[in-house]
């Protein structure tokens, strides 16, 4: 008769397998480096990946913060000498956009902290809370812009220094578009929904700055109503982007992922040699890191060591297929009728 050890080796197919890994990054040099570098299962890999993403996010925040503060300060000078409502709304929005770097920076710093027995996943979800703060700032700036525009409709006032107002609007557009492109690019590269939302916020500012040109042109033609009406249009633009950013932030808070990622993960796992089927696959974002859980069917006759090898191979393939994936928990269990009965009994 086989001994107890042989029984465990043949029938203990339940297998949970999880490691933190660093997937391939976006640049060509990083991908080449990843391809020729041995892949380690050391937990330091996960820490290094998270720290690198946080450093890149922080760099994007402070560079864009400086750019927006310079832009908004220049616009504020023109607001004081011209009294333009449209430019005031744009300037306030630019200052608000710059200040959203503060909660995001705090979130990135918190995300660097190691997991504890109380916060077993770490504090990466603090980015979602920062996203909520950004949404509140956007909403507040929309209210202020609307209030100022309505007040100017009720109490008309001529715009002065129209040429400077137009120039300030153009400067605002260029500054915001540069910052928006930078934030969105870095946010998508590191998987930060909050940073992407902040970039969309800056892009809104850019279009509202263009609207300031319309206000200046209308005032030049003697249309006194043009300035406050454009201010109301700016409010509508802010609300439109606010809606889009809110959908992205709240989707992330509810653990939504791109279905294409799920399809890629499922196809990758199913194509792993030895995998007979993918029972479940779950993905979720924790800050700007992606984690996965999956249950795989394997042959009932496999030993525990063989099941472990298959699960490990599936995990490696999954991490290579999903660059932002930093952790995967793979459970392999026996498939087929005999395996299903064993799995239910376990």
CATH topology of domain 4-36+257-345: Alpha-Beta Plaits (3.30.70)
Q: Dump pLDDT digits (tens) for 126-182.
A: 888 888 888 888 888 788 778 877 877 777 666 667 777 888 888 888 888 888 888
More confident: 27 or 272: 272
C-alpha distances in Å from residue 64, one per residue of 18, 141, 172, 179, 219? 37, 19, 13, 5, 32
125 in helix, strand or coil?
coil
What is the DSSP track for 255-291?
A: T---HHHHHHHHHHHHTSTT--EEEEEEEEEETTEEE
84-88, 183-187, 279-283, 341-345 — most confident range: 279-283
What's the DSSP call for residue 39?
Answer: P
How far apart CA 109 and CA 163 sit, in angstroms, is 43
Residue pLDDT, tens place only, 300-335? 999 989 999 999 999 999 999 997 888 889 999 887
141/132 Cα distance (integer angstroms): 14
Helix (H, G, I), strand (E, B) or coil at 346: coil
The first and second tokens of residue 41, run together, are 């299962």
The ranges of the chain annotated as CATH 1.20.1510.10 are 45-253
Whole-angstrom distance between the N-terminal and C-terminal Cα of the chain?
23
CB 170 within 8 A of CB 217: no
DSSP code per residue over 85-124: HHHHHHHHHHHHHHHTHHHHHHHHHHHTSPP-SSSTT-ST
Give residue-wise pLDDT tens across range 57-103: 778 888 888 888 888 888 888 888 777 776 777 787 778 777 777 88
Question: Range(s) for CATH 3.30.70.1350 in the chain?
Answer: 4-36+257-345
* Count, residues in the chain: 346
Name the fold adopted by 45-253.
Answer: Alpha-lytic protease prodomain-like (1.20.1510)
CA dist 56 and 43 (Å) reads 21
Read off the pLDDT of residues 183-193 as tens digits, 9 standing for 90 and up. 888 888 877 77
Alpha helix positions (H), the chain: 4-11, 28-36, 43-82, 85-99, 101-111, 126-154, 162-190, 193-220, 226-253, 259-270, 304-321, 336-345
């Amino acid at each position: 008769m086989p001994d107890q050890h042989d029984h465990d080796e043949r029938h203990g197919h339940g297998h949970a397998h999880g490691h933190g890994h660093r997937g391939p990054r976006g640049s060509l040099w990083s991908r080449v480096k990843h391809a020729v570098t041995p892949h380690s299962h050391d937990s330091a890999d996960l820490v290094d990946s998270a720290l690198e993403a946080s450093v890149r996010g922080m760099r994007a925040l402070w560079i864009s913060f400086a750019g927006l503060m310079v832009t908004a300060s220049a616009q504020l000078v023109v607001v004081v000498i011209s009294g333009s409502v449209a430019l005031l709304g744009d300037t306030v929005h630019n200052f608000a956009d710059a200040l959203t770097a503060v909660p995001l920076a705090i979130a990135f710093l918190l995300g660097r902290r190691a997991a504890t027995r109380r916060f077993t996943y770490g504090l990466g979800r603090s980015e979602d809370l920062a996203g909520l703060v950004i949404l509140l700032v956007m909403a507040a700036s929309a209210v202020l812009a609307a209030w100022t525009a309505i007040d100017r409709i009720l109490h008309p006032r001529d715009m002065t220094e129209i040429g400077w107002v137009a120039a300030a609007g153009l400067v605002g557009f260029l500054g915001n578009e540069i910052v928006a492109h930078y934030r969105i690019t870095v946010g998508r590269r590191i998987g930060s929904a909050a940073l992407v939302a902040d970039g969309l916020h800056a892009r809104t500012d850019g279009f509202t700055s263009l609207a300031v040109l319309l206000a200046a042109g209308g005032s030049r033609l003697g249309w006194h109503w043009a300035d406050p009406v454009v201010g109301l249009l700016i409010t509508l633009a802010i609300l439109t982007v606010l809606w889009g950013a809110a959908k992205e932030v709240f989707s992330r808070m509810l653990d939504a992922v791109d279905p294409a990622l799920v399809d890629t993960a499922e196809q990758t796992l199913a194509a792993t040699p030895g995998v007979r089927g993918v029972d479940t696959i779950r993905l979720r974002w924790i800050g700007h890191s992606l984690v996965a859980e999956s249950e795989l069917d394997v042959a009932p006759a496999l030993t525990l060591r063989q099941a472990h090898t298959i699960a490990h191979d599936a995990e490696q393939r999954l991490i290579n297929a999903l660059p932002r994936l930093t952790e995967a928990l793979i459970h392999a269990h026996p498939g087929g009728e005999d395996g299903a009965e064993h799995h239910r009994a376990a």
